[in-house]
Structure 1
Amino acid sequence: MKGIILAGGTGTRLHPATLVVNKQLLPVYDKPMVYYPLSTLMLAGIREILIVSSPDCLPHYRTLFGDGSGLGLSITYAEQPRPEGLPQAFTIGRDWLAGAPAMLVLGDNIFFGNGLGPMLRRAVASVEAGGGATVFSYRVEDPRRYGVIAFDDQGRAVSIEEKPERPRSSYAITGLYLFDGTVCDHAATLTPSPRGELEITDLARRYMDAGTLHVEAMGRGFAWLDTGTHDSLLEAAEFVRTIQHRQGIQIACLEEIAYLQGFISREQAEARGRALAKTAYGRAILTAIEDTPAPLPLGERRKGDRRQG
């Protein structure tokens, strides 16, 4: 499984804040927005990652992450000349994917919750073993703002609509998607909607019609935040601040995740933590090293170890 972060777009709803900087590089409380979707891919156990953004913004991402080796990752970059819909990520990344299944996460989406890592890894294992696609649903107050998925009495997806005037359910599709190795072929045959863009709901509907779409519900205890407006950006920052201050943890601390997942060594994590030791972010890395024995390779567990990772 490979991962794609779609971090393009013009961010017009955040103007003037995004007139000179890419939206996904804006801070959400104490770290760049892009840290959050990257942490989601890392929690899923994904180490090969493609960041798709506009040509003028890619140099900033290269400065921020380099080749990803400092996090035990392999990060590649691809240009999105102009935004033409979410499925465009698969046409841009077709050669890079080379037939591999993919997890796509939107660069302005934040996911948080106890058990998120295990949920993601189960979804990855399911697509890798059986093909098809998995989307994540979340109950929302105003589903008209989202792609909406409806179910029959057996809990099977029966309809997917983009921003419907009369939603058939209150469940939105979040900005996190898993597709098997045929996704690029499907994406290449999509046609633009009346909005003039390729729609991710049309892509998911292909799998639904074939009976190979799985829906994973994010219920109570999970948070899904979209940071596309000034208000939602502030709400996300307040959420992150509240959790971190009350629980004494760091959300989307990449080096901490990399260490606990076994992507980087204790020495690598410690060096990064000491470099950032004046911040709560850096101290979280050092605390992870002190509180946790050297991790085993991803997927292995010591006898009696019940940590969820």
Structure 2
Amino acid sequence: MKGILLAGGRGTRLYPLTKTISKQLLPVYDKPMIFYPLSTLMLFDIREILIISTPEDLPNIERLLGNGSTLGLSISYAIQEEPRGIAEAFIIGASFIGEDNVCLILGDNIFYLGEHINKYVDAIHKHEHSQATIFAYHVSNPNRFGVIEFDNNFNVKSIEEKPINPKSNFVSVGLYFYPSDVIAKANKLSPSKRNELEITDLNNMYLKEGRLQALPLLRGNAWLDAGTPDSLMDSSNFVQIIEKRQGLKIACLEEIAYKKGYINADQLEGIINNLTDGNYKDYLIKVLADEYEFY
């Protein structure tokens, strides 16, 4: 399975923070925002990744992450000239996807899945060639999101974008898994009133065919959309609390790569030797010494 990280948009909700820097490069506590969605792809065992961003922001993102080889990844890049909708990512990334299944994650979405990650991986792999999988999260203000209506067996009945009268408190989050036919479906989409190719319209295509499952995130999991000043602050506070209480980092890319076997001890030591002294280097030294369990 391949992964697409959509880091486009103009960051208007965060202006003026985003006047000179990409939203995805803003700090979420002790790391750039983009580390968090990238770490989620890595935790789902996805190592071939396409990052899509604006012409202005892509060079800085590429300067940060390079080709991913030091992390045992293969990272490539593509441009989205204008914010024409989430679903356009599959059109831009068509040649990258090819005949493979694909995961799309939004660059401002932060997930804390803990030990439940294996449960989600198994559920996705079970039907990954035949159906799409989205995730649902219970929120107090569903009218701001794409609302998922379930039946009594947690089968999806409907998905409605930002409804005035939500049919549930479950909303669709920015993590999506699709079979390779997603390219053909994305090309059939018509722009919405916002002149965008809507991900909700794409998901409804799979729903009408009976090929969509929605996995509710379990209690103890967390999802944050760090795209507004308040949610950016909430995200930083969340990460700070977890890391200070546990002494374990969230979204430490080098740790994940090492613990997942993407890189070996010698490679991690090489990364450490190239870092300047500081808390991040000290943490990786402890990771290499196996003083910390993985998440």
Relative to the length of structure 1, the TM-score reads 0.92
What are the within-5 Å matches in structure 2 for residues 136-285 of structure 1? Answer: 136-276=135-275, 278-285=277-284
Query: Equivalents in 1 of 2:145, 2:75: separation in Å?
Result: 30
Aligned to 1:126: 126
In structure 1, how many angstroms separate the alpha carbons of the residues matched to 2:117 and 2:150? Answer: 25
Deviations 1:109-162 (A, max 9, x none): 00003224313422442243x421000000000000000100112221010000
Matching residue's letter, 1:77: Y
Distance 1:308 1:205, change over 3 A: farther
Instruction: Tell me: CA distance 1:214–1:292, structure 2 relative to 1, closer, same or farther (3 Å).
Output: farther
Contact preservation (8 Å) 1:109, 1:175: yes
Alignment partners' CA distance in 2, 1:116 and 1:200: 25
* 1:8 match: secondary structure: coil
What displacement does 1:280 show? 3.0
Give how far 1:276 is off: 3.5
Would the aligned equivalents of 1:44 and 1:124 in 2 still touch at CA under 8 Å? no
Identity of paired residues, percent?
48
Q: Deviations over 1:32-91 (max 9, x none)?
A: 000000000000000000000001111111111111100000000000000100001000
Match of 1:48 in 2: 48
**Counterpart AA for 2:87:** P
Q: Aligned-pair distance for 1:291? A: 1.5
Shift of 1:195: 1.9
Structure 1 residue runs of 4 or more that deviate by more than 6 Å after TM superposition: none
* Map of 2:75 onto structure 1: 75
Give the Cα–Cα distance (whole angstroms) in 1 for the partners of residues 291 and 133 of structure 2. 32
Structure 1 gaps of 5+ residues are 294-306
Conservation of the 8 A alpha-carbon contact between 1:9 and 1:53 = yes
In structure 2, stretches of 5+ residues that fail to align are: none
Alignment coverage as a number of residue pairs: 295
1:16 paired to 2:13: no
Give the corresponding residue for 1:33: 33
CA drift at 1:218: 0.5
CA distance in 1, matches of 2:291, 2:261: 11
**TM-score, structure 2 as length reference:** 0.96
Determine helix, strand or coil for the equivalent of 1:55.
Answer: coil
Alignment check: 8 A CA contact 2:110 2:224 kept: yes
